[in-house]
Structure 1
């Protein structure tokens, strides 16, 4: 049925409100509010169901840079956009152009898709960005849609799993479901597919507590990728921080996302969103005009202090959101609160988070953004994870974020890969990683769960590819294999890529299991890339951002069941022995440990406590750690042994022990009583408990 479009075109000034931004339906009508400090006039544009612009109404009031008006009778489903009037003075940072239809930054639903055309640029393509282009961009733009705020959540709420209990699974909505045989074909690649029983059952079997999704905010496909037959698959090209990406919806309604989150919560699985508040899809000063640039370029973006015609770019994307502006900071905070309160997400992973902490003098861990997050009664209680770097000066900040943030720890990835590759002098480095990287994180009263440990993530080789390729193979990206980094710390173990050599395949499986074992037995919070739990490959492509294809979709057709069963067992072991393997506080020498930490003692293969001379042995390929609960020598103890080298004799600490995990075995859970000197198999992670 056609939607009822009988509404007043006269604003009700008595009900018009500037206090809530966006288009908010109250049951009788909709209040529209848009921030633009430098605008001279703002027109609200309304569209019919066929996409025709039927009304253009000037917002009647403005206070504090917020333009607003209430329209009685406007209901959910109404499509709209804005045209903003103001100075065209690019050399002063102002790029107002009312010929361009603009998306509401607070839009919660969108209709239609962007169709690339030169009219989407505020200047004539091929000319100077100082000139103005007067073509109408509306025919090529998606529209914002007034959303229905009502949804029956029943008793659903955010889950708030404790950090020591958390196992994160980084996944892509489409990539996880597109080729899953148990997901109905019409739901593959969508949120609805993500919430199907086969997907949830797999996550539970693997011991996953927390699903971290690559960006799902509304985004734009890059023109240059479309022209090459590629796409921005990862989605780090946001144009709206409230609406979900239409490509992940089987329909148009945001309720599909809510239904999926509700199903995941019912299964006990948290949902964390990878969010991109550091830049937008509008690029640099030569980029298109979709929203922020046309609404108020000088407010929403950080501009060069020497020449505001240009942006101040510390993200490598052409622009940087001006988080120092209070209304931009408010937009980010409003977005985050919306996803928690209205959508029930359990937390966020912040892309290039160092950008969010940039103040006039550089990165500031006590800056406005972090201070706002820490005092916020809604956001301070959900999971917050930082990608602790950007491309600007001083942007690498691993360990530099304030509590309650946790941080991606690339040092864990690099040092663990190097250790299992058998690089020299890696034992001391691995010893730091398995303790949660205390040099980086044990300060400012931060907990032992501050480090997010990972072996692979969306950016880079999959875990299987780290044991299958010596070099990147990004030819399909169309950049002559020049994109993507070369520091992969990988080892093909004798053959580049797929091989029929069974010995090489066996060695690869063995190393992957050992690496996953070391990940799951390390202090901190483990994160696994979707598909790594059963040996998924991207054919050596370490920069699959533009590959919306079988290359980047997870291949469920031929999983390595030995790896999958091993990972499930590692998760189970971590849960059973969480007090030792996932302590709340950083570990100490036994005499300084307490009920929330464990006492640690490093052991040499010959049976003695490690000495400085032992640690300086750059040929050592074995790391052994005795963990005593509460530091009590009479309390139960665990012994973890990581052997990157050949079969090695190892003298256990005094007493009887039971080997309960051997990553070289199949299955990896074992029950072997032992004492004295035993053999530790090559390339294995082992766990013993005192008898």
Structure 2
């Protein structure tokens, strides 16, 4: 079947697979899913994207896939779709061929998203609202997809395939991490290449970082409400194209710069994990624009309210929820994930609001379709998987309930850590669980201790410096009346809100930060550091800086605390050197082959810790074991961790030095870390501090 419409190109039936636009050396095959469409038009545009040159109805339909083949259409050609079908919002359908739509499989975008009223499928400003039908053409105001050359995206990327043991995650924003870095070349600042430039690699390797976790890098569209306030979505949790790298971060090499970044990280021994957002799209609620899924097949791509399909299920708090239970939506998500692994080199993913994509009609299900598909996939089952185990839907908090292949962000660890060092009552008992990987939640179904991703701060909330400088959020710059962001931050300003010149307060804040960093890196599980926390970066008390693409969010490298960076480096090295701190199995006081328990809780006087003491505020943890072998390995060193929350020094009774002396390697009362051999039976631990001691078997001393 052939068809020609207002232009030189012909179109034939083509193939239904693979989905997307695929150049075969002679022409391009187009395949698009839309179950409820009546007709799909392929629209070709001039090189500048301003003029629609030709409109070609896709001539063939195989099931729910529309397809066609255009001879001699080569990489670089710009295109979009117009999809015909019922415009019946009350029945869940919002087809409007006046709106140009992105190919869900587009890998390169030309042009930018706008907030022009013509991008809406309904007539903005009318009394009928979203029930009205817009007849204006949106093409001048939306990006076009670009036909890509297979040579630019070869599926031959090689991941590092490192295990979880020894993983230290650094959560970073591509632009915010480098845009103010004085040693990164100016033309690379804020780009993919800049993030993996030599100054950044030197910094990360110094810290012992094994894994960089990037805030969303898939192409995004800022919400209209933000642009109306002169702001943009800086974090990127509003994805518009799941296969395309975000254009704002492109450097001199264009899209190829992304893979260059990954390869440079890999050459330095650093993995790359991508934060991905498959729970919703950037089209928003029923009053949002139409540039993709809404116009392609609204009733298939989105979860609609049962009995009221005009409206969207909003478990995400963003206006809509993707329907990953639909086989073609699930297929798109899995194809996208494999693309980032096989073609771009990603080593894993952190799934934003992962509860949403684990939901079935009956609720969250760890054995649901998405979970099962991911776990059996020959590619995706081999990479690191991290869940953000909550969303805003009913029963959305699911910490500890994901399949064993997943690690999970542990917000309970974060809150416990902050409450303990702030001096809250009963927090010491909670810290005991946190230090051992929150086994009460994670030690099920054969899961390992690395399942708990432990952190003191993340992109969402206060930075570590702000946790110790602000009691209240200061989000006025967001333009929402300071109503947005978390209100329960478990933070402490030490008597002065924000900046101060008081030397005593500054010293106390610095020590609190060291205490919290030490607690993160000395706990069983997978530690994560927010970019900038190693050097005391502040956001001025803004705990929801998602819309601040400016100095509020950008790391200020000129003001980084070099002493704190050196301290973080020492902590990382201590964790790396002592396998007892990163054991893969949960510790429960089980006797090893030498009749010694793998973990032992002690009071400062050497007696057993009294967990029932309501005033308990300090504790000592004796670890025996190693990371590489089972907890029964008899020749592993012993590590004693001491957490003194008292406002005065305490005398610590060391375990009997029967097989070699103890050595103190960590002391948070000072930034500089100098190992000290301890030959006496007791030692003084400074007020409000953490101390780490090591004793090797006699054969190693």
TM range (shorter): over 0.9
Please report how far the alpha carbon of residue 502 of structure 1 lies from its aligned counterpart in structure 2 after TM superposition: 1.1
CA shift at 1:34, angstroms? 0.6
- Evaluate the alpha carbon distance shift between residue 66 and residue 203 of structure 1 in structure 2; reply closer, same or farther with a 3 A threshold: same
CA distance in 1, matches of 2:539, 2:150: 40
- The CA distance in 2 between the partners of 1:528 and 1:550, in whole Å, is 20
Change beyond 3 A, Cα 1:415–1:175: same
Q: How much does 1:668 deviate?
A: 2.1
> In the alignment, which residue of structure 2 is the partner of 1:626?
622
TM-aligned CA distance change 1:109 to 1:594, over 3 Å: farther
3-state SS of 1:416 partner:
helix
Question: What residue is the counterpart of 1:9 in the other structure?
Answer: 9
Question: What are the residue-to-residue correspondences of 1:290-689 with 2, within 5 Å?
Answer: 290-577=291-578, 579-591=579-591, 599-610=598-609, 614-629=610-625, 630-631=631-632, 635-646=636-647, 647-655=649-657, 656-689=661-694
- The range that moved more, 20-29 or 558-567, is 20-29
Give 1:594 shift. Answer: 11
Do the aligned residues in 2 keep the contact of 1:589 with 1:631 (CA within 8 Å)?
Answer: no
Aligned to 1:57, what secondary structure does the other structure show?
strand
Of 343-352 and 110-119, deviating more is 110-119
Aligned-partner Cα distance in 1 for 2:269–2:161: 10
**TM-fit CA distance, 1:598:** 7.8
SS in 2 for 1:308: strand
The 5 Å alignment of 1:217-296 reads 217-250=218-251, 253-296=254-297
SS at 2:32's partner residue?
strand
C-alpha separation in 2, matches of 1:139 and 1:688: 65
Distance 1:221 1:593, change over 3 A: farther
CA separation in 2, counterparts of 1:120 and 1:407?
38
Q: Return the alpha-carbon distance in structure 2 between the equivalents of residues 509 and 58 of structure 1.
A: 65
Q: Alpha-carbon deviations, 1:398-441, whole Å to 9, x = none?
A: 00000201100000100011111111211111110010000110
Question: Match of 2:445, SS?
Answer: coil
Measured after TM superposition, the shift of residue 108 of structure 1 is 0.4
C-alpha distance in 1 between matches for 2:516 and 2:471: 17
Match of 1:126 in 2: 125
SS in structure 2 of the partner of residue 23 of structure 1: strand
Contact 2:303 2:321 in 1 (8 A): yes
The match for 2:3 is none
What is the DSSP-based 3-state SS (H/G/I as helix, E as strand, rest coil) of the residue aligned with 2:675?
A: strand
* Displacement after TM superposition at 1:618 (Å): 2.4
Describe the shift of the 1:308–1:251 C-alpha distance in structure 2 as closer, same or farther (beyond 3 A): farther
Q: Is the 8 A contact 2:172 2:213 kept in 1?
A: yes
Give the paired residue count. 678
Q: Give structure 1 regions of 4+ aligned residues with deviation exceeding 6 angstroms.
A: 152-155
Give the match for residue 27 of structure 1.
Answer: 25
In terms of mean alpha carbon deviation, does 70-79 or 389-398 score higher?
70-79
Task: Indicate which of 27, 36, 60 corresponds to 2:34.
Answer: 36
Q: TM-score, normalised by structure 2?
A: 0.94
Give ranges in structure 1 of 5+ residues lacking alignment.
Answer: 1-6
**Aligned-pair CA distance for 1:616:** 1.7
Q: Note the C-alpha offset of 1:634.
A: 7.0
Q: CA RMSD in A?
A: 1.8
Distance 1:337 1:450, change over 3 A: same
633 and 331 in structure 1: CA distance in 2 versus 1, 3 angstrom threshold: closer
Contact conserved, 1:662 with 1:670, CA < 8 A, in 2? no
Asked if 1 retains the 8 angstrom alpha-carbon contact of 2:594 and 2:634, the reply is no
Counterpart in 2 of 1:95? 94
- The aligned counterpart of 1:3 is none
- Conservation of the 8 A alpha-carbon contact between 1:583 and 1:598: no
Distance 1:593 1:421 in 2: 40
Shift of 1:623: 1.8
Give, in whole Å, the separation in 2 of the partners of 1:530 and 1:40.
49
Query: Where do 5+ consecutive residues of structure 2 fail to align?
Result: 1-6, 626-630, 697-701
* Cα distance between partner residues in 2 of 1:44 and 1:666: 62
Task: Work out the CA distance in 2 between the residues paired with 1:575 and 1:151.
Answer: 38
Residue 355 of structure 1 deviates from its aligned partner by 0.2
Q: Where does residue 47 of structure 1 map in the other structure?
A: 45
Deviation at 1:635, TM superposition (A): 4.9
Separation in structure 2 between the aligned mates of residue 274 and residue 152 of structure 1, nearest angstrom: 21
Instruction: Report deviation, 1:153.
Output: 8.0
Q: CA deviation at 1:250?
A: 2.6
> CA–CA distance in 2 between the matches of 1:353 and 1:590?
34
- Per-residue deviation at 1:251? 5.6
Secondary structure at the aligned position of 2:176 is classed as: helix
8 Å Cα contact 2:177-2:555 kept in structure 1: yes
Matches of 1:499 and 1:416, distance apart in 2: 24
Tell me how far 1:155 sits from its aligned partner. 8.8
Secondary structure, in 3 states, of the residue corresponding to 1:310?
strand
- 8 A contact 1:12–1:69 mirrored in 2: yes
Offset at residue 679 of structure 1 (A): 1.2
